[in-house]
Chains A and B, each alone.
Chain A
Amino acid sequence: MRYENSILTTLKLSDSETPTPRGLRTQDYMKTDQTISKQKIWSWLEEVIDPEIPVLNVVEMGIVRDVRFEDDKVVVKITPTYSGCPAMNAIEMEIDKKLREKGIEKFKVKTDFKESWTTDWMTDHAKVKLKEYGIAPPTETDSSDDFLTNLKGSQKIIPCPFCDSMDTKLQSEFGSTACKSLYYCDGCNQPFEHFKCI
């Protein structure tokens, strides 16, 4: 889907002196001379797994927003899921590692705030994988959110990811990670986590 509009742009990686990011020596770089496409980079990014939800990759999570070429540099734009998500640094490092491993010399991973991440960006396939993993996936966010008159919170019923029972209740809006809340299923007497809809 995301690839439809991406024209096969080519990028010639040069052998010229590379600015050295923190903590790395110039000789740590792999020197390559090849032609790569944006599509190729997107597919490499799909190999980067979210460290806190290891069944999803950072592309299907909607964390990677854009891949572009600026001069002779690859720029990967990412956006945080939650402001204080401790996984963001790890994700940035993983992307860094992946690109290096694929022989990209000049790149920049940029955190962008212009668009605010929403669970609506998560692909349907990702939601299925979440459920299989035991996390109740997010439902569509409610844009007609009249927050002040509905301060009691969402009355949405979240089905249990294990037994599909609708007989569930919210235990706490805050769970083991910033993106999840805690539920309990009275159908199968199991606690479970729900990916918050934001």
Chain B
Amino acid sequence: MSTFDTIPQTKQEALVETLLRLADDRLIHGHRLSEWAGHGPELEEDLALANVALDMIGHAASLYSYAAELEGKDDEDHYAYFRDDIDFKNIAMVELPKGDFGFTIARQFLFSAFSYFLYQKLIDTVEDEQFNGMLQKHFKEIKYHLRHSREWVLRLGDGTEESHRRIQDTFDEIWMYTGELFDLDDADREAIKQNVFVDVTEFKGEWKELVNSTLEEATLTVPDYDQYMFSGSRQGRHTEHLGHLLAQMQFLRRSYPDAEWK
């Protein structure tokens, strides 16, 4: 399952595809967050962003390792280091450059809120014990991410004139990337049929409600949901940013495939 036009046929293929899609979002997002290590606006936030990065990369690692086990591959590193941008199934929102602290927070909030509802539904649906156990573990951590980013949205929105302006600009700018959260393609539909994924449009209302109430509490204006929305990343059509990110993330492993920590 590595090219963008392959549709899974069996339950196992559908499960692997779901694992990879979930993992790609989390690896790429985690990598973007890791870029803050040592650059946070204050010590507590430096630690917080590094912690969230670690969680998200950890989520990706467990999902990849299960996919590797199902596919009979030696280890999960293959997925992270030896695939090209066209093979990555992450949505564009998570690959956008880290921007300023406000951008990082806005993205985290939108994505964590989505993950919160997604995981809740997945835990109720997925029968596979290993996968479900992973979901339950990740879910506990997602709650921390959502709480943390939401509190910062409130603080920045309802903060100084500058913080208000900048976080509002951020939401306006990132909005066109929120559509992909709820896009469904043939691979997703197959996975839903096989009970290894859920119909994400079912919780779009709940997600909107949480986003709207938070932005309103933060004295921010909710951007227009009906504007042009970017799409196609899950099929491998990414922004140029992903290639640059992968070049940095994969360089060492590709140049020195047998390198080891000593």
Binding site for B on A (CB under 8 A): 80, 82-86, 112-117, 147-148, 151-153, 171-176, 178, 182, 196, 198
Contact partners of A178 in chain B: CB under 8 A: 51, 54-55
Contact partners of B150 in chain A: CB under 8 A: 151
B136 at the interface (CB under 8 A from A): yes
The answer to whether A113 and B130 touch across the interface, beta carbons within 8 angstroms, is yes
- Total A-B Cβ pairs within 8 A: 78
With A84-B54, A116-B133 already in contact, 10 other A-B pairs whose C-beta atoms are closer than 8 Å: A80-B62, A113-B130, A113-B134, A116-B137, A153-B147, A173-B48, A173-B147, A173-B148, A175-B51, A198-B140
A-facing residues in B26-71 (Cβ within 8 Å): 44, 47-48, 51-59, 61-62, 66
Q: Give me 25 A-to-B residue pairs in the complex whose CB atoms sit less than 8 angstroms apart, sorted by A's number.
A: A80-B62, A82-B141, A83-B58, A83-B59, A83-B61, A84-B53, A84-B55, A84-B61, A86-B54, A112-B133, A113-B130, A113-B134, A114-B129, A116-B133, A147-B116, A151-B150, A152-B147, A173-B48, A174-B44, A174-B47, A174-B148, A175-B51, A178-B54, A182-B44, A198-B140
Known: A82-B141, A113-B130, A147-B143. A172 touches B62 (CB 8 A): no
B144 at the interface (CB under 8 A from A): yes
CA A152 to CA B143, docked complex, whole Å: 11
Which secondary structure dominates chain A's binding surface? loop
The answer to whether A116 and B55 touch across the interface, beta carbons within 8 angstroms, is no
B138 at the interface (CB under 8 A from A): yes
CA A176 to CA B43, docked complex, whole Å: 11
CA A178 to CA B47, docked complex, whole Å: 9
Smallest CB separation, A78 vs chain B (Å): 13
Contact partners of B146 in chain A: CB under 8 A: 151
The answer to whether B55 and A172 touch across the interface, beta carbons within 8 angstroms, is no
Smallest CB separation, B169 vs chain A (Å): 24
CA A117 to CA B55, docked complex, whole Å: 14
The residue in chain A whose Cβ has the minimal distance to the Cβ of B59 is: A83
* B121-144 interface code vs A (CB 8 A; 1 in, 0 out): 000000001110110111011011
CA A134 to CA B54, docked complex, whole Å: 25
CA A173 to CA B143, docked complex, whole Å: 11
B184 at the interface (CB under 8 A from A): no
